[in-house]
Amino acid sequence: MSLEKLVPKLIRASLDEDYREVRSLSMRVIRRLKESHPKIAEEIADALSEHGIGASTKRAVGISDSPVDMETLQSLCKVEEPIDIDYPIFSPRVNELVKNFIREREESKKLFSVGLTPPTSLLLYGQPGVGKTELAKYLSGILNLNLITLDLASAISSYLGKTGQNLKKVLDYAKSSPSILLLDEFDAVAKRRDDMSDLGELKRIVNVLLKELEDWPPNTVVIAATNHPDLLDTAIWRRFDRAIEIGLPEQEERIRILTNQLEDKIFDKVSKSFVTLIAEMTKGLSGADLCKLVERTKRKAIIYDINVMDALIKELVDFKGCDSVEFNKKFCRLAKTHMKVSIRKLAEWLDKSPSAIQYYLKEKGEEVNG
């Protein structure tokens, strides 16, 4: 069959949601295009394989039964099977708190047997990009529970006027089977109830939530994540069994995050002292920032065929918008101490003249934050 005949059939099958037919017609389109338009053929193949993964997951967790908005028929939350990811890198204090929480959940039976209940709610707070959502995903994997995510920021704006009703649906759904319900961007709903901008609607929602949290079933965990803990009122704080503050990564954590991210067979191994230097220069960055920094570095190293260390310094200078004298001074001083880098190399890294580098090294720079 010619392409002209295949395409209308393909469109009809998509509109009918006849995925078997879509799949088989797409395979035929790929075969037609493979020689003349390999890029397009590849893209169609990608779409098929990605859709395959999503579809099977949806079937497995019964996402078809998940709640939808009655008018728009949009899904109100995202449902995923237990997510198997590495434990994020946190401070020892956070590790301890997370470990305790997991332990208490795992020992639920033991607790029940003596009339105690495991914790069912957890509040995670801290700046953006410190790994709150990542931790919730990790917990779904380790506790082997489906993860139901409700992004409150988008839910509130798109379901205006019906948020309370929709929220109730999601809560009921989460309670109906063992799972983790992640209320992400929680501050969007949990604004102080005496907030002037409060429209009554928010008040109702908070009340629904508080009421629900009061007798939340023990087989389900509610995790709320927020960047603005100060916006939550005390009634909400009180309702959570545990609260964990996740701070920005300290030097040790930055070293570990950078080391993990830089570990890649296609690149030369980066020395410990170099990672220590970069960790010192990235004070104030979040885990997400560090991951982004390394990702850009790898891209740069591949595209321009340069060494990872050179690429990383270039990205760091760009990323932090650092053409500041303080940054340069700190960088030169630390590079000299940790790595015994030559003036020539420092000049190349910072794109400065050797005499400028000598100036940076001579002057005692003030400690720069970040």
Binding stretches for ligand ADP (CB under 6 A): 88-90, 128-134, 225, 257, 287-288, 291
> Where does the chain show beta strands of DSSP type E?
78-80, 121-125, 146-151, 179-184, 220-226, 242-245
Maximum Cα–Cα distance across the chain: 76
The residue number whose beta carbon is nearest to ligand ADP equals 287
Number of residues in contact with Mg ion under rule CB under 5 A: 2
Judged by beta carbon, residue 83 or residue 361, the one nearer ligand ADP is 83
Q: Give the whole-angstrom CA distance, residue 99 versus residue 105.
A: 10
We find the least distance from the C-beta atom of residue 132 to ligand ADP, in angstroms, to be 3
We find the least distance from the C-beta atom of residue 86 to ligand ADP, in angstroms, to be 8
State the binding string over 210-239 for Mg ion (x if CB under 5 A, else -). Answer: ------------------------------
What 8-state DSSP symbol labels residue 244? E
We find the least distance from the C-beta atom of residue 38 to ligand ADP, in angstroms, to be 32
We find the least distance from the C-beta atom of residue 291 to Mg ion, in angstroms, to be 13
Judged by beta carbon, residue 30 or residue 225, the one nearer ligand ADP is 225
Which residue in the block uniquely carries the two structure tokens 């005499």?
Answer: 355
Q: Give the whole-angstrom CA distance, residue 233 versus residue 230.
A: 8
DSSP string, 140-188: HHHTT-EEEEEEHHHHHHHTTT-HHHHHHHHHHHHHTSSEEEEEETGGG
Judged by beta carbon, residue 86 or residue 305, the one nearer ligand ADP is 86
CA-CA distances (angstroms) from residue 143 to 59, 99, 154, 239? 21, 12, 27, 22
We find the least distance from the C-beta atom of residue 34 to Mg ion, in angstroms, to be 41
Copy the structure tokens of residue 168: 């109730």
Q: Give the whole-angstrom CA distance, residue 320 versus residue 267.
A: 24
Could you give the angle at the alpha carbon of 20 between the alpha carbons of 18 and 24, nearest 5°? Answer: 120
Q: Give the whole-angstrom CA distance, residue 270 versus residue 301.
A: 13
We find the least distance from the C-beta atom of residue 124 to Mg ion, in angstroms, to be 9
We find the least distance from the C-beta atom of residue 278 to ligand ADP, in angstroms, to be 15
Judged by beta carbon, residue 132 or residue 320, the one nearer Mg ion is 132
188 binds, among ligand ADP, Mg ion, none (CB under 5 to 8 A by kind): none
216 binds, among Mg ion, ligand ADP, none (CB under 5 to 8 A by kind): none
Which of 26, 133, 276, 282 lies at the binding interface for Mg ion (CB under 5 A)?
A: 133
Judged by beta carbon, residue 148 or residue 225, the one nearer ligand ADP is 225
Residue 6 phi, psi dihedral angles, 5° rounding: -70, -40
Judged by beta carbon, residue 22 or residue 258, the one nearer ligand ADP is 258
We find the least distance from the C-beta atom of residue 221 to ligand ADP, in angstroms, to be 17
Judged by beta carbon, residue 185 or residue 280, the one nearer Mg ion is 185
149 binds Mg ion, rule: CB under 5 A: no
Q: Residue 218: what residue type?
A: P
Q: Do the bridges between strand 242-245 and strand 179-184 make them parallel or antiparallel, or are there none, so unpaired? A: unpaired
131 binds, among ligand ADP, Mg ion, none (CB under 5 to 8 A by kind): ligand ADP
Q: Do the bridges between strand 242-245 and strand 78-80 make them parallel or antiparallel, or are there none, so unpaired? A: unpaired
Q: Do the bridges between strand 121-125 and strand 179-184 make them parallel or antiparallel, or are there none, so unpaired? A: unpaired
Taking a C-beta distance cutoff of 8 angstroms, is the pair 208, 167 a contact? yes
Judged by beta carbon, residue 79 or residue 309, the one nearer Mg ion is 79
Which H helix or E strand runs over 312?
Answer: helix 308-319
118 binds, among Mg ion, ligand ADP, none (CB under 5 to 8 A by kind): none
129 binds, among ligand ADP, Mg ion, none (CB under 5 to 8 A by kind): ligand ADP
Binding residues vs Mg ion (CB under 5 A): 132-133
